Amino acid sequence: MRCMREHVLLLNLTRLGDMLQSQPLIQDLHDSGHKTSLVCLENFAPALTLMRHVENSWALPGAKLLADTRSCWQNAAARLLVLARDIREKARASRVINLTPTLPARLLAKLLAPSPAAVLGFGMDAEGFGVNGGAWASFLSGASARRVNTPFNVADMFRRMGSALCAPEIARRAGVFALKSPSGSAVAAAEDLLRRIEGTGDDTAARLQGYVGFQLGASEARRRWPVEHFADLGGRLWQAAGLCPVILGTEAEQSLAGAYAAHAASPFVNAVGRTGIPELAALLGRMRLLVTNDTGTMHLAAGLGVPCLAFFLATAQPWDTGPCLPGCCCLEPALSCHPCAYGEACRRGQACLTRISPRTAENMILGYMRSGSWNEPAAAAREQARVWLTAVDDRGFAALRCLSGHDAEDRGRWLAQQRLMWRQILDDLDGRNEPEPPPDMKDFLPALSPAFGGEVTPALARASRMLALLTEQGRLAGQSAMAGQLFLRNCERLQQILDACPPLASLSRFWRELVRDRGGNMEETLRLTGLLAAHLERWARAQK
């Protein structure tokens, strides 16, 4: 089945990793017969040479606009309007898919779309308030504030937000994340860098057996595996397997490269600040493996088919931002406090940064090099790390398979429950014709411990009853002022029930987004509350 051909304009105005993770959606749109153009931030525009099926592109000068705003907001507004007019005239898009939930991105989507109804994802209403186009967009909007309860990879949520434009058989398949090979000039530049090995000895050339990439940086210092650990690991890999580390990073991360050099006791290549995105892609193509924090470099490697060992520290977790490449290994510190919540000070002296030792990372990598599998060394790493293998589930979504037994913990079981239930809830609320779920979910959901279940089950049951009550009260709201007041009061009570149960953080945020988006349409609100009440009732019943 082919959909009617459309000109689609995609907005992704966040980080490099998010921009790259929109490639599976672009592939879906292409395979459904659409033409797709892309608006991205100026500093990530070089990555466009690696992306497939992008007909046209525009780079938004975010830093310049921000500077103009500080000096003269009128000039910034005029500059944005001129840019928006140019994009709109040249793109001639019949649909706009905005993947960025910020208010400026919503405003730009409104300026670029032929009508408000033509915006999918994150939009804006006539009064200037943010609205979300569909349940999946509402879920992602809430999840972006607190991802500790988010069980879906960002790439899959992007795909789901645009799936209304895609042929059903394409929307249901596994996401296709394949970037282009870098240009010949980028490859030549990478080869030149690889010849500049530092700390060499007389036997370096004879011992060299290949390269391993080290991405030292991350978006925050507390999400970075220590540089001295990287240096220790580099020495171990050189001594044991003749693997030469290639240090990767931007110009802003030169201090990390200097710290690595100060600790290094074996050869390495310093490519920090010496590559653009195409040259970085070419370097990754020469790596046998990438060792990385949760970064855009990790997603670039995944799109190029380069396996990785990735550390997810502090607020980072692989369920939502892990690499979309089956066979990668993701390590989380085996600590009950991980992942920590955004905005909270660490009470354990950032113990997660040093929990996973260089020796453990060495054993993981060498075991993988020997056998092509992460299974063998995973058991030995259990005390320090939760070990996850990236995979694809039977519904085509990016998934994780635990190799260290930590999926038996409540967090792993709860994430598995959420993957199954949220998929049904969001597709149902968006009106998708997916297979009917079984009436009794008990046999399909992994059991929670009595303590964890004792916290979650009553909250789910109370929320279900409150939603059912809201549905009834809403039908009477137009007939009685008292009923209308009770409806609003119970909306607040439902929010309080959800806020009081941390494992339901995603549901709490989703409800807040849902009320904000649909509150002006009582008929639609009641449809959604009725459906959500039924799903939560089934979810609570399955815990018993």
- Rounded to the nearest 10°, the torsion over CA 426, 430, 434, 438 is 50
**pTM of the predicted protein model:** 0.94
**Residue 286, SS3 per DSSP:** coil
Residue 345 to residue 175: CA distance in whole angstroms: 36
> Of 24-28, 108-112, 289-293, where does mean pLDDT reach its minimum?
108-112
Q: What percent of the chain has pLDDT over 90?
A: 74
Please give the sequence-ordered ranges of beta strands (E in DSSP) within 51-205, or none if there are none. Answer: 54-60, 95-98, 119-124, 130-133, 197-198
Q: How much is the pLDDT for 46?
A: 96
CA-based end-to-end distance of the chain: 42
Q: For the purposes of burial, counting CB atoms within 10 Å of the CB of 39, is it exposed (0-12), middle (13-18) or buried (19 or more)?
A: buried
CATH superfamily of 184-404: Glycogen Phosphorylase B; (3.40.50.2000)
pLDDT (tens digit, 9 = 90+) per residue, 226-271? 999 999 999 999 999 999 999 999 999 999 999 999 999 999 999 9
Q: How much is the pLDDT for 341?
A: 78
Q: Which two tokens stand for residue 195?
A: 């010849």
Q: How much is the pLDDT for 146?
A: 57
Residue 368 to residue 374: CA distance in whole angstroms: 5
pLDDT (tens digit, 9 = 90+) per residue, 180-223? 999 999 999 999 999 999 987 768 888 999 999 999 999 999 99
CATH superfamily of 7-171: Glycogen Phosphorylase B; (3.40.50.2000)
Q: How much is the pLDDT for 274?
A: 97
Q: How much is the pLDDT for 1?
A: 43
pLDDT-derived band at 433, boundaries 50, 70, 90: low
The answer on pLDDT for 163 being more than 90 is: yes
Residue 214 to residue 498: CA distance in whole angstroms: 41
Q: Which two tokens stand for residue 129?
A: 């308030």
Q: Give span(s): CATH 3.40.50.2000, the chain.
A: 7-171, 184-404
State how far Cα 404 lies from the chain centre: 23
Quick check: bond before 24 cis, omega within 30?
no
Q: How much is the pLDDT for 439?
A: 64
Cβ–Cβ contacts within 10 Å for residue 368, how many? 21
What are the b/e assignments for 234-253, b being 16+ CB within 10 Å?
Answer: bbbbbeebebbbbbbbbeeb
| Residue pair 511/498 in contact by the 8 Å Cβ criterion | yes
Residue 10 to residue 55: CA distance in whole angstroms: 11
Mean pLDDT to the nearest integer, 433-437: 63
Q: How much is the pLDDT for 147?
A: 54
- H-helix segments, 440-521: 450-476, 481-499, 505-518
pLDDT (tens digit, 9 = 90+) per residue, 48-88? 999 999 999 999 987 777 666 677 777 777 888 889 999 99
- H-helix segments, 399-449: 410-429
